[in-house]
Amino acid sequence: MLTKTRAIVIGTVKYGERKMIVDLFTEVKGRLSFITTISSSPRSQHKRLYFQPLTLLHLEFDDRPGQNLLRMRDFQVERPYTTTQTEMEKTAICMFLAEFLNHATRGEQANRPLFDYIVQSLLWLDRRSERYANFHLVFMLRFSVFVGFFPNLDDYVEGDFFDLREGAFDSVAPLHSDYLWPEEAARLQRAMRMTYENMHLFRMSHAYRNWFTEMILKYYRLHIPGFPQLKSLEVLKSLFE
């Protein structure tokens, strides 16, 4: 069946000499993989530009249930970025987010609220000219709302610990080691109030921002089976010193 959908490019993998597997997060079907032919011709090389990580596409494809690798009938860039793929800091952030999404959306079925959240977040970053050092923190924290393990903030009381496994605050430390001490838990509770519009008001040192990034990634590793250490993290940690 011919299906039309919007999609976000998650990444690509070379397949043989002349083919490439393209992983997409689509609006109507969730995570899908496609196979496409890439030759050495100028036209084909131009085609690669459509599959840069986090590119927003509109495509038509043959939807064949049970088939692991699908084929595109037609595709085009839905909305080109103006700064995201040319400015160094934004490029590094997007490399990190693409790797994050590769693991965080793996196996994800159709989830239009999540799809819209990702698209609107990327477009917001593209429009922003300054004060976006905390963007990836807000993105990951808010992402957890759509996949079912946003931390429970309702029961927070000053002095509480935060259980990373349960995603909840508690007055006593859990018996395992995956938790935040009260001072760290209080910082998390405050940081959860960040949005894209107000995040510049939450001033963080370079060291604390990096610690916070690693803590959020640990939270995801505890809640998504197989979520790995991200290779692009070191590049991200070097930004905004």
Q: Is the confidence at residue 9, as pLDDT, over 90?
A: yes
Residues facing residue 241 across a β-bridge: none
Same domain as 114, residue 129: yes
* CB 125, CB 92: distance < 8 Å: no
Number of helices and strands in the chain (H, E): 7, 8
- Of 61-70, 135-144, 188-197, 228-237, where does mean pLDDT reach its minimum? 61-70
* 218 shares its domain with 131: yes
- Direct distance between the N- and C-terminal alpha carbons of the chain, in angstroms, rounded to an integer: 51
Q: How far is CA 215 from CA 27, 52, 181, in A?
A: 29, 28, 12
Q: Determine, yes or no, domain membership for 166.
A: no
d(CA 215, CA 90): 22
Residue 188 · residue 180 · CB < 8 Å? yes
Same domain, 74 and 101: no
3-state secondary structure 9-28: EEEEEEECCCEEEEEEEECC
Residue 64 is predicted with a pLDDT of: 82
Domain boundary among 80, 113, 133: 80
Mean pLDDT of all residues in the chain? 91
| pLDDT 10s digits, 92-130 | 999 999 999 999 999 899 999 999 999 999 999 999 988
Concatenate the DSSP letters of all residues of 168-225 into one string.
Answer: EEESS--SSS-EE-HHHHHHHHHHTT--TTTGGGS---HHHHHHHHHHHHHHHHHHST
Instruction: State residue 85's pLDDT score.
Output: 81
- For residues 241 and 148, what is the distance between their CA atoms, to the nearest angstrom? 33
pLDDT digits (tens, 9 = 90+) for 62-72: 888 878 899 99
What's the one-letter identity of residue 229?
A: Q
Q: How confident is the model at residue 82 (pLDDT cuts 50, 70, 90)?
A: very high
Which SS3 state, helix, strand or coil, does residue 115 take? helix
Distance between CA atoms of residues 162 and 190, nearest Å: 13
pLDDT digits (tens, 9 = 90+) for 146-172: 999 898 888 899 999 999 999 999 999
Q: Is the pLDDT of residue 6 over 90?
A: yes
What total number of domains does the chain contain? 2
Q: Decide if 182 is inside a domain.
A: no
Please check whether residue 50 is in contact with residue 39, taking contact to mean a CB–CB distance below 8 angstroms: no
Burial state string for 14-42 with b = 16 or more CB within 10 A and e = fewer than 16: eeeeeebbbbbbbbebbbbebebebeeee
Which two three-digit tokens encode residue 213? Answer: 């990034």
Token pair 């999540």 in the structure block, residue:
114
What is the identity of the amino acid at 95? M
Is 80 exceeded by the pLDDT of residue 240?
no
Choosing from 39, 60, 80, the residue where a domain stops is 80
**What's the CATH code of the domain at 21?**
2.40.50.140
Domain assignment of residue 100, given as a range: 83-151+192-241
- Using CA atoms, how far residue 51 sits from 36, 45, 78, 182, in Å, is 11, 11, 12, 44
Q: Examine the domain organization and report whether 66 and 113 are in the same domain.
A: no
pLDDT, position 86: 85
